[in-house]
Every structure is written in C-alpha cells, then in structure tokens.
C-alpha cells in the first residue's frame, strides 16, 4: 500500500510540476442569476418540510419557548447546546432538562448519550430546503450534529438565501461546512426509506425573525 501510494503521489507531483498555484481569491465565482422567489422564507419552509423535517415559523419573542418545547416534544432529558448559543437559551434549557451540555471536549461516546442537540446555522437555502453549518459559534463541531438522534436547528429569516449560488456568496470558503437537507435517510435494497442511519433521525427547524 505504501509503494502504491508513493507511486500515485509521484505521478501527481510530476503532473503539476511547474504549474501556477491558484489561490481561493482567483477562483471565478460568477454564477447564473435569476429572479428570486417572492417569499423566500415561505419557500424555504415548504422545501424543508418536503424532506420530512419538522419546520415551525416562530413569532418574535417566542424562540426560547419554542426551543424548549421542541426538545420536550421528543422526550429529551439530556440536551446539548454548543458553546456560542445565546445564554438565554441555555438558562431556559437548564430550567427544563436534567442535563445540558455545551459540547466542549465531548467525545463520540458522550454524544451517543445526548438526546437532542440545539444549534444555530449560517445559511438556509430556499430553493433546496438546505441548511448550511460552518461550525462557528453556536453550531458545534461536525460530530455534534451527526451523532445525536435529534437536531433542533434555529435559522433566522435574514439567513435564508434564494439558491445555492446566492448561499455560496455568503459563505467563507475557508470554513468547514456541512449541508443538511432533511433528516439523515437512505434506502435499503428494497428501496424502503430508512432514517437515522448516517445522522439525526429527526430534524426540527425553527425559523425566526430574530435568532437571538
């Protein structure tokens, strides 16, 4: 295996020898543009629901109560709110649930004991019903949103982009990114849908005018 690896890498080095390196800033990012939907947030909610996720539009001032209600609705007892989420969320969760983790230093074995994770997001894509995480404050590292069975994600209306090119323009290409379109799902050999194999079985999206 080592010899094969070195042979492959040697051929790659030979192929790129003498070529100019292209920085991220030099990559052209000119995408086809079209007229955005009249109601981006409404379209986003519709497409998220198409993926068999639960989506709720939350009135101003009702977000904290909606978060605790969503976690309570799945019977959670141990929840995780990554470092960087608003402090008022954490206080409300601690008043409601037995254990509230911040995810700092937690390993996979610890994540398997978590009933639900609550995160923010960086972008929502209306045309595809996709949520994008760049794992900044309030979003946790990637495993945090893959191991627990329930993911409750808060998306601000201002974060909803029209389509993928619009979303890409808002993203930092140097950040690690996870694109989420509905709960984890796959099909078995008989083409029966199976959820929760590669990530959360349940995705609950809360869309709010103000994520704080």
Domain map (residue ranges) of the chain: 39-208
| CA atoms of 52 and 9, how far apart (whole Å) | 43
Residue that wins the pLDDT comparison between 142 and 196 = 142
∠202-203-204 over CA atoms, to 5°? 115
* Residue-level pLDDT at 81: 93
Of 3.40.50.10860, 3.40.50.10420, 3.40.30.10, 3.40.50.720, which CATH number belongs to 39-208?
A: 3.40.50.10420
Residue that wins the pLDDT comparison between 167 and 29 = 167
Predicted confidence band of residue 26 (pLDDT cuts 50, 70, 90): low
**Tens-place pLDDT, residues 165-210:** 999 999 999 999 999 998 887 777 777 777 766 778 899 999 999 7
Predicted confidence band of residue 84 (pLDDT cuts 50, 70, 90): very high
């Amino acid at each position: 295996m080592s010899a094969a690896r070195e042979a492959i890498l040697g051929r790659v080095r030979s192929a790129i020898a003498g070529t100019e390196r292209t920085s991220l800033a030099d990559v052209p990012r000119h995408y086809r543009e079209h007229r955005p939907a009249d109601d981006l947030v409404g379209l986003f909610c519709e497409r998220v629901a198409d993926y068999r996720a639960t989506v709720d539009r939350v009135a101003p001032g009702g977000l904290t109560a909606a978060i605790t209600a969503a976690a309570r609705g799945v019977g959670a007892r141990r929840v995780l709110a990554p470092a960087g989420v608003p402090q008022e969320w954490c206080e409300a969760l601690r008043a409601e649930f037995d254990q509230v983790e911040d995810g700092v230093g937690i390993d996979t074995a610890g994540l398997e004991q978590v009933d639900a994770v609550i995160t923010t997001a960086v972008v929502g894509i209306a045309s595809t019903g996709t949520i994008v995480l760049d794992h900044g404050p309030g979003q946790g590292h990637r495993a945090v949103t893959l191991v627990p069975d329930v993911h409750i994600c808060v998306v601000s209306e201002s974060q909803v982009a029209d389509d993928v090119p619009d979303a890409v323009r808002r993203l930092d290409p140097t950040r690690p990114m996870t694109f989420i379109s509905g709960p984890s799902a796959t099909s078995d050999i008989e083409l029966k849908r199976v959820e929760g194999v590669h990530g959360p079985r349940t995705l609950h999206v809360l869309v709010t005018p103000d994520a704080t």
